[in-house]
């Protein structure tokens, strides 16, 4: 029992560390865009999407922290179906919002970089910049609609089972197992998550295919082997490939854990959130490390803090 509690608290500490790092990284990215907006009084369309994504991911990490804190330290509040449903809707709303904004970012890159002589591509290429604010609002609305059913069906017929009650001194540790209605939840999750995932995969696949063709053409010309355009193509190709891999892994893990197959293993419930948070954290870290503007701003902030102290 003591070993199980120790593992549980260790995993909880790992999860909190990931969430705090993820929240910090995304807030740094948002701060860099705010500084740019303050100096230029405007933001490029890509920066608007990245700022929205940074806010969404930061709130997603914060929602995971709040949700698991309630489960671990306030188990008596879990007897309220309203409280559980509200927490679950909050987490899923931020999850869906993040997924749609990630998809919008990839669609924007695809439309701006890929050059196909199709009417749809030509229309989007000329209108995408003006459409982005409305697409962001639409993403929020679709995410809200997709997450609300979790409050109605996600924890219907809820059962709470007290697995253990271990007292150590004046501290009592509870471990509760929550049994939601998985049949409804899998269907709800599929309806909300499959559309952005399919759009994401199509846009990234088109972008990777286009970059591969142009990279081969540029490499065939010996005079352009060291050109900056070729290096930028390689960087974009690497970024999109990593992005696609992380999203596929995220989709697989989320579907696997939503199925409820590992539900009766208490430590796997925390391990689920650690894995899901780590994938989002890896992409956030990669984005911030590949942005020279964010790195310069973060370095200057650290330098100013050292000088002031």
Examine residue 33 and state whether it is found in any structural domain, yes or no.
yes
Q: What is the separation of C-alpha 15 from the centre of its chain, rounded to a whole number of angstroms?
A: 15
Task: Answer whether residue 309 is part of any domain.
Answer: no
To 10 degrees, the CA torsion angle through 171, 172, 175, 180? Answer: -110
Whether 141 is covered by a domain: the verdict is: yes
Q: Could you tell me if residue 133 is inside a domain?
A: yes
What pLDDT sits at residue 58?
92
| Token representation of residue 80 | 């309220």
User: What's the number of CA atoms in the CB half-sphere (13 Å) around residue 78?
Assistant: 23
3-class secondary structure per residue, 234-250: HHHHHHHHHHHHHHHHH
pTM: 0.81
Residues 6+ apart with CB under 8 A from 190: 255
Taking each helix axis as running N to C, give the angle between helix 2-40 and helix 45-73, from 0 to 180 degrees, rounded to the nearest 10: 160
Tell me, yes or no, whether 168 lies in a domain: yes
- Total domain count for the chain? 1
Q: Tokens for 28? A: 């740094």
Residue at token pair 């969404």: 56
Q: Within the chain, which residues score under 70 in pLDDT? A: 1-4, 75-81, 153-185, 218-237, 258-268, 291-309
> Which residues 6+ apart lie within 8 Å of 306 measured at CB?
none
In a domain, 127, yes or no: yes
How far is 69 from 261, CA to CA, in rounded Å? 23
19/280 Cα distance (integer angstroms): 10
Q: What is the pLDDT of residue 135?
A: 93
Q: Is residue 169 part of a domain?
A: yes
**Model pLDDT for residues 31-86, shown as the tens digit of each residue:** 888 888 888 777 888 888 889 999 999 999 998 888 888 777 776 666 666 777 78
Closest CA to 253 of 233, 220, 280, 232: 280
pLDDT in tens, 133-142: 999 999 999 9
- For helices 228-258 and 81-113, the axis angle rounded to 10 degrees is 150
Domain assignment present for 156: yes
pLDDT for the residue numbered 117: 78
Domain that holds residue 41: 2-304
What does each C-alpha distance from 272 to 6, 155, 240 come to in angstroms? 17, 19, 25
What is the rounded CA–CA span in Å between residue 77 and residue 282?
A: 33
CATH number of the domain enclosing 18: 1.20.1070.10
């Amino acid at each position: 029992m003591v070993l199980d509690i120790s593992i549980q608290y260790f995993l909880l500490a790992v999860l909190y560390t990931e969430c705090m790092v993820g929240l910090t990284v995304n807030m740094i990215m948002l701060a860099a865009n705010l500084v740019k907006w303050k100096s230029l009084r405007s933001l490029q369309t890509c920066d608007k999407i990245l700022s929205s994504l940074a806010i969404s991911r930061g709130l997603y990490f914060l929602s995971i922290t709040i949700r698991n804190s309630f489960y671990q330290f306030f188990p008596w509040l879990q007897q309220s179906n309203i409280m559980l449903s509200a927490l679950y809707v909050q987490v899923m709303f931020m999850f869906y919002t993040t997924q749609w904004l990630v998809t919008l970012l990839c669609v924007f890159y695809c439309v701006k970089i890929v050059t196909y002589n199709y009417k749809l591509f030509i229309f989007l290429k000329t209108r995408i910049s003006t459409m982005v604010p409305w697409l962001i609002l639409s993403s929020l609305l679709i995410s809200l609609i997709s997450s609300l059913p979790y409050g109605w069906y996600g924890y219907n017929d809820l059962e709470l089972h007290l697995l253990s009650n271990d007292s150590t001194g004046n501290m009592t540790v509870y471990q509760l197992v929550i049994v939601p209605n998985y049949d409804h939840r899998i269907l709800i999750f599929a309806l909300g998550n499959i559309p952005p995932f399919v759009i994401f995969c199509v846009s990234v696949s088109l972008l990777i295919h286009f970059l591969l063709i142009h990279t081969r053409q540029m490499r065939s010309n010996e005079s352009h082997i060291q050109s900056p355009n070729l290096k930028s193509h390689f960087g974009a190709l690497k970024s999109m490939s990593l992005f696609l891999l992380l999203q596929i892994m995220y989709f697989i893990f989320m579907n696997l854990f939503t199925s409820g197959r590992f539900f009766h293993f208490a430590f796997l419930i925390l391990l689920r959130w650690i894995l899901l948070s780590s994938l989002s954290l890896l992409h956030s870290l990669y984005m911030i490390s590949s942005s020279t503007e964010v790195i310069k701003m973060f370095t200057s902030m650290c330098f100013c803090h050292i000088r002031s102290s």
